[in-house]
Structure 1
Amino acid sequence: MTRMFRSLFLTLSVIATLSVIQPAMADIVLSGTRIVYKEAQKDTSIRLENKGSRPALVQNWLDDGDPNADPSTINVPFNATPPVSRIEAGRGQTVKLTYTGARVLPKDRESIYWFNVLEVPPKMKDADVKEKNILQLAFRTRIKMFYRPEGLDGTPSEAPKKLKWSMQQKSGKAVVHVINPTGYFVSFNKVEVTVGGRKHDVNSSMVAPKGETDFIISGLTSAPAKASIHYIAINDFGGAINGKVDI
C-alpha cells in the first residue's frame, strides 16, 4: 500500500509541475477553507466535489508543515480515508479524518497540520493529445487543519483582540511584532499599518498560540513612534474578523 501511495504521489507530482505552463482551474472543490478538529470528536470530515465534466483521480494526505514531503514518509497522528479515490463528474466524496493517538498533542494550545488534495484528470489517448495539442494538468490544494483541545480559555473569535502589537526595528527593517498569549492560532487575511495618513501593507500570515512573530512592513525602513494597525483575521468558517489597534 505504501509503495502504491508513493508511486501515485510521484507520478502526480511530476504532472503537477506542468501546471505552471498555462492557466487552468481545478475541478475538485473543497467544502471549506480550513478544518477544525475538536478533541471531543471521534473524527471529522471534509467534502470534495467534482465540479468538472470528467472523472478525477484524487489523493488525500496530511502533513505537519513541509509541503514538499513525500506522503509515504510523513509521520502524523491522523489518518485520511480514503487516501485515494476516483470522483465522477458532478459527484462527491467525503474524506474522514481520524486522530490515531500515535502522538500526544498539547492540551494548552491548538496544534496545526495541513490537509492536501492532489487531483489529476483521467489519461487521454495519445492521438487526442497530439491532435489537439492538449497538456494535462494535475492540481494540488492545501488547507490548514487545527486540532483544538478542550478547555482552552476564551474563544477563537476573541483571540485576535487579545494579541499584543508593537513596532520594532530589526535588521534594518520596520516590523510589526505580534505576541499571541492565547491557546488559538490566529490567521490573517490582511494587516495594514497607517503612519501619518499613509497606509503600508504588512507581510502577514499567522501567529501561533503562546507564540510571537514579526511581520515586515512594506515601504518603511524605520519603526514609527505612532501608528494605527488594521487587521482582518480569519475565523473558523473562513469569514472575516476586523480589528484596529493604535500604537
Structure 2
Amino acid sequence: MRSRFLSLLTLLPVLLAGQASAAVSVGATRVIYDSAAKEANLSVSNRGEDAPYLVQSWVSAYGTQTENSVEGFLVTPPLFRLDGNSENVLRILYTGSQSLPQDQESLFLMNVKAIPAMTQEQTAQNVLQIALKTSIKLFYRPAGLKGTLKEATANVAWHSNNGKLQVRNPSGFNLVVSELKVNDVATADIPDVIRPAEQRQLDVAAKPGDRITLSYIDEYGSTLVAPTAQVN
C-alpha cells in the first residue's frame, strides 16, 4: 500500500505538468529577430476552460547553465495574467545595450514560464503547484547578413581528422541539426547547433569519400535535408 502511494506521488507532478502544457502554449518553435525590424512577436495562448495562469517571459543566454535574463533584450509584458481561452502577444525588443555581431547570427533562448493561479479553496489546502517553463531558440539575425540558411547548409565542410568526422560552418548562420547520417546510417553523436564560423570534431567514425546527409530545421520549424556532401 505504501509503495502504491509513493508511486502516485511520483506521478502527480507529471500528470499536473501534462495538464499545464495542454493549456498554455507558445505560437512558434523559434523566433527570428530581424535587426531591420523594431521588434519580434511571439503569441502565448491558454486553451484551458477556466484556469488562469501567471505568465513570465525573458531572454537568456544559449548554451549556459544560467537562466538569468541577458542585457540587450526587453520582453513586454514581462509578467501578466492569462485567463482561460485567451491569448496575448509578447513583444521582444532589442535595446542595443549589448553589442552584437553584424556579420553573423547571435543565438539566445526565449523563455516563457506559466504558473497556475490558485483559487481560494486551493489556498486553504495543501495543493502542489507546478510551474511549467518553455524555452525556444531566439536568433538575432543582422539585416546585412549575406546568403540564406539553405545556402549555408549546402556549404558546410566535412573532413576526416584521425578517423573522426570534423565539421566546419563557414557561414554566419546557426545550423540547427535534426539528424546526421554517414553513408545513410544515422549517427548518435550530433550537435544541437553548429554555430557560425565553428569548427568541431565529432565522435563519429569517418573517412574520405564517405557520404554525409544533414537534416536541419529551418526558420519555420520544418525539417529539411541539405544536399548530400562528401567527406574530404
TM over 0.5: yes
Match for 2:66: what amino acid?
Answer: A
Change (3 A) 1:199 1:88: closer
Bigger drift between 157-166 and 224-233 goes to 224-233
TM-score relative to the length of structure 1: 0.77
Residue 177 of structure 1: CA displacement? Answer: 1.6
Distance 1:206 1:60 in 2: 23
Q: Which of 48, 52, 57 is residue 55 of structure 1 equivalent to?
A: 52
Distance 1:137 1:150 in 2: 40
Residue 40 of structure 1: CA displacement? Answer: 0.7
1:237 matched to 2:214 = no
1:81 matched to 2:76 = yes
Is the 1:64–1:76 contact (alpha carbons within 8 Å) kept by the matching residues of 2?
no
TM-score relative to the length of structure 2: 0.82
Superposition map of 1:51-130 within 5 A = 51-53=47-49, 54-65=51-62, 68-69=65-66, 71=68, 74-124=69-119, 125-126=121-122
User: Would you say how many aligned residue pairs link Structure 1 and Structure 2?
Assistant: 215
Superposition map of 1:7-26 within 5 A = 21-23=13-15, 24-25=17-18, 26=21
Residue aligning to 2:138: 145
Distance 1:38 1:20 in 2: 42
Residue aligning to 2:211: 228
1:159 alignment partner, SS class: helix
Q: Where does structure 1 lack aligned partners over 5 or more consecutive residues?
A: 1-17
1:236 alignment partner, SS class: coil
Q: Where does structure 2 lack aligned partners over 5 or more consecutive residues?
A: 1-9
Summarize deviations over 1:53-94 as a string: whole Å, max 9, x none. Answer: 3111110000112665353xx332010000111111111110
Distance 1:189 1:32 in 2: 17
Match for 2:70: what amino acid?
Answer: N
1:118 alignment partner, SS class: strand
Distance 1:233 1:223 in 2: 20
Distance 1:32 1:45 in 2: 10
Is the 1:105–1:111 contact (alpha carbons within 8 Å) kept by the matching residues of 2?
yes
Match for 1:157: what amino acid?
Answer: K
1:158 alignment partner, SS class: helix
Residue aligning to 1:158: 151
Residue aligning to 2:203: 216
Match for 1:120: what amino acid?
Answer: I
Is the 1:19–1:137 contact (alpha carbons within 8 Å) kept by the matching residues of 2?
no
Residue 30 of structure 1: CA displacement? Answer: 1.0
Change (3 A) 1:38 1:118: same
1:46 matched to 2:36 = no
Residue 175 of structure 1: CA displacement? Answer: 4.2
Residue 119 of structure 1: CA displacement? Answer: 0.7
Change (3 A) 1:19 1:181: farther
